[in-house]
Amino acid sequence: MTDLSGTWLGTYWQEGVPTRFEFTLVQGGNSLSGSVLDDNYLGEANIIGEVIGRKITFTKTYLMGSRHSVDYAGTVSEDNDFMQGEWQIYFLFSGQWEAHRHDDNLTINLEILRRQTVPV
């Protein structure tokens, strides 16, 4: 069974413009959950989805602003270290995305920044 739990670093393209993002997945059986940090003004989001064989689908819902959702579908490489596919917002916008396992952690960096700027 494919195990996608862990930290992933990726890029999605919207109208030819790349945006870097990091997400952390927790997998239980075929179910996926996790969190995302986009490297733009949209910021943090939650993920809920599933993986069946090498096929992955998930929905990313932003926590701020309009709280809109983005649907992702794709495939996972045989070594479970790379995935790619298409994203879609309703039927209005769509594009390509890809991600690979990575040790850099934007989420940890965000938490460090929060602790430095928010008094305890």
91 lies in some domain = yes
1 lies in some domain = no
97 lies in some domain = yes
47 lies in some domain = yes
Compute the 3-state secondary structure of the chain and give helix, strand, coil in percent, each to the nearest 5: 10, 60, 30
Kindly report the pTM of this predicted structure: 0.81
80 lies in some domain = yes
Question: Which domain, by its residues, includes 29?
Answer: 6-117
**CATH number, domain at 13?**
2.40.128.120
30 lies in some domain = yes
The count of structural domains within the chain is: 1
CA–CA separation, 64 and 62 (whole Å): 6
One digit per residue, the tens of pLDDT, for the chain of length 120 reads: 678 999 999 999 999 999 999 999 999 999 999 999 988 888 899 999 999 999 999 999 999 877 889 999 999 999 999 999 999 998 789 999 999 998 655 555 555 555 666 555
